[in-house]
Structure 1
Amino acid sequence: MSLTVAVQMDPLDQINVAGDSTFALMLSAQARGHRLFHYGAEDLNWSDGRLWVKAHPVTVQQPTSAGAGDHYRFDAPVSLDLGDTADVVLMRQDPPFDLGYITATHLLERITDKTLVVNEPAQVRNAPEKVFVLDYARFMPPTLITRSTDEARAFLAEHGAIVVKPLHGNGGKAIFKVEEGGLNLSALFEVFNQTWREPHMVQAFLPDVVEGDKRIVLVDGMVAGAINRLPGEGEIRSNLAVGGSAEKTELTPREREICEALGPELKRRGLIFVGIDVIGGEWLTEVNVTSPTGIVAIERFDGTDVAGLIWDAIERRVAER
């Protein structure tokens, strides 16, 4: 089966080829004989029921050396009808999950009767990372969603040290630990409330974070692999994008319970590629559906071809349409 695959993502010259999950998916697709096209979310056009982009046919390869910049080659751009010509759209641009992202999901939703969009755009829109996870609050650490400094201070008094983070943040950005006593909590909330109109996420600080934050990847609802991400020196954040490091890991019984609880719902929603984050082997903190990562590190440690598993799932879904 040869598919026409349109990849909606950030500029290829700006990615970290060594660890980028989208690039790994593109390499895997190309190896299977699928035709690849690259475009950005800002390139979407709609008129008279058609959704189309000016997209570059693209060929990808591992770079010849670090920083060589020869990891992709564009051919002349073409007008690509995403509903009539593309078999698959990979929606893989990085967050923030803002109005631009939401608008892209609305536009792509209009072609899902013809073209498989991964992940399913309406479900991506309805399942932002730190909101969808609230459906599984029984697995979460104590959590508060609020814009109120008074509520945050009461939560701090109840739980001791806390972590404050943007509700729609990504990549470990703007995550702050506030120690017991709440020094600078008011000032932090002033900044958060001036920066973001939505509420913020406040959680009890989990000391186990020093032992790592596990990223577990699920493909069509099934566990495909995991890595443990360790925070860098002087950090509580373990995201690889902010200096964390990865190590090989195994799932705990509690983590398997979490995956078994989430898996059927992820599959039902058409969320084929999902990354969940678990701290201390038991505390679920996020369900990442917009542009999850981690498959390159999993393959490096476990030898599991997660990209191949994702394409197996995609090809099955296309064949069933």
Structure 2
Amino acid sequence: MRVLVVMDPIENVNLKKDSTMAMLWAAARRGHELGYALQQDLYIDQGRAMGLIAPLQVFENTAEYYQLGEKQQQSIASYDVVLMRKDPPFDMNFIYTTYILEQAEREGAWIINKPQSLRDCNEKLFATQFPQLQVPTLVSSQQSLIREFLQQHQDVIVKPLDGMGGTGIFRLNYQGVNIGSTLEMLTQNGSLPIMAQRYIPEIVDGDKRILMINGEPIPYCLARIPQNGEVRGNLAAGGLGEARPLTERDRQIAAEVGPFLREKGLIFVGLDVIGEYVTEINVTSPTCIREIDAQFGTSIADNLFDVLEAARS
């Protein structure tokens, strides 16, 4: 297959942790032809989705891990699969990119994940479609409603709807002294909705990332365990990553969410689970492949390409 990756600058990746590199290495091992583009390289010309696309070679276990050729104007739809792996922030530029990729989709390209679903499925809000799998959750910009929620549940996590890596997450106690200033900052003085969730004590045992491929779970997850008194388990916030087999409850959650992911064309997704509950459904650029592979000897990117090749054969 011809495989195009849209990603952040390849020279800046963290080789020890980057899931996109795992995907590219798997594609190269299988003999697929790789192309590389940044978000700003994509464009529409006379109604056709195009890109300034560079031929890409990738190499494992070496400091010289990639080689790029000269950029060429190419139709995005000339590629069989397009891996949309641009990290958040999910801003207007990201949305414009999904419109370009949607045009490529109409021309026959297969975008992983589906552009419309990248727009529709906000990683915090998408989880609210499964209230039976969540702790009590409120989404609002109104301080009065959030304060009522805090009084009811007494120990609450608040976070922005567009954050990643644990940024902007606060734990509030109903007797706290900084409630007003925290909510003013997060809601931008009542103009921006945020999410409030009842605190889940099981966070001390880890915030589990369950990777889903075409609606089916990988049998191991990565528990991201908060360190040094932190409330956040995110690896970017200093959490410790410990791979574990899925529990029976993890499998139940995956079975309930999986059909919705397939329906929406969300092929590679990360469910975030704390204790018994789903907190987020990550669709933009899920990670944790490398950590699970390293601890359990899996090859999750190969699992992904098994699905892609079977669908394109």
Unpaired runs of at least 5, structure 1: none
Equivalent position of 2:18 in the other structure: 20
CA deviation map 1:45-72 (0-9, x unaligned): 10222111112211112353xxx4x221
After TM superposition, list the pairs within 5 Å mapping 1:289-304 onto structure 2.
Answer: 289-304=283-298
1:124, CA displacement in angstroms?
Answer: 1.5
Equivalent position of 1:228 in the other structure: 223
User: Which one-letter code corresponds to 1:316 in the other structure?
Assistant: A
* Correspondence 1:171 to 2:165: yes
* Correspondence 1:105 to 2:103: no
Contact 2:210 2:217 (C-alpha < 8 Å) held by counterparts: yes
1:143, CA displacement in angstroms?
Answer: 0.6
Distance verdict in 2 for CA 1:71–1:195, change over 3 Å: farther
TM-score by length of structure 2 reads: 0.95
Unpaired runs of at least 5, structure 2: none
Contact 1:278 1:284 (C-alpha < 8 Å) held by counterparts: yes
Query: How many aligned residue pairs are there?
Result: 311
Select between 53-62 and 16-25 the one with higher mean Cα deviation.
Answer: 53-62
Equivalent position of 2:266 in the other structure: 271
Select between 104-113 and 126-135 the one with higher mean Cα deviation.
Answer: 104-113
Equivalent position of 1:188 in the other structure: 182
Distance verdict in 2 for CA 1:196–1:229, change over 3 Å: farther
Equivalent position of 1:255 in the other structure: 250
Contact 1:116 1:318 (C-alpha < 8 Å) held by counterparts: no
TM-score by length of structure 1 reads: 0.93
Aligned residues: percent identity?
39
Equivalent position of 1:4 in the other structure: 2
* Correspondence 1:130 to 2:128: no
CA deviation map 1:70-121 (0-9, x unaligned): 22111111112102x2111110000111111111112111121411100111
**Alignment RMSD, CA only?**
1.5
Contact 2:143 2:190 (C-alpha < 8 Å) held by counterparts: no
d(CA) in 2 for partners of 1:97 and 1:137? 24
After TM superposition, list the pairs within 5 Å mapping 1:210-229 onto structure 2.
Answer: 210-224=204-218, 225-229=220-224
d(CA) in 1 for partners of 2:190 and 2:69? 40
Contact 2:133 2:253 (C-alpha < 8 Å) held by counterparts: yes
- Counterpart among 222, 229, 236 of residue 241 in structure 1: 236
User: Which one-letter code corresponds to 1:314 in the other structure?
Assistant: L
Matched residue SS, 2:130: helix
CA deviation map 1:241-273 (0-9, x unaligned): 221111131222222111111111111221110
Runs of 4+ residues over 3 Å off in structure 1: 195-198
Matched residue SS, 2:185: helix
1:197, CA displacement in angstroms?
Answer: 5.1
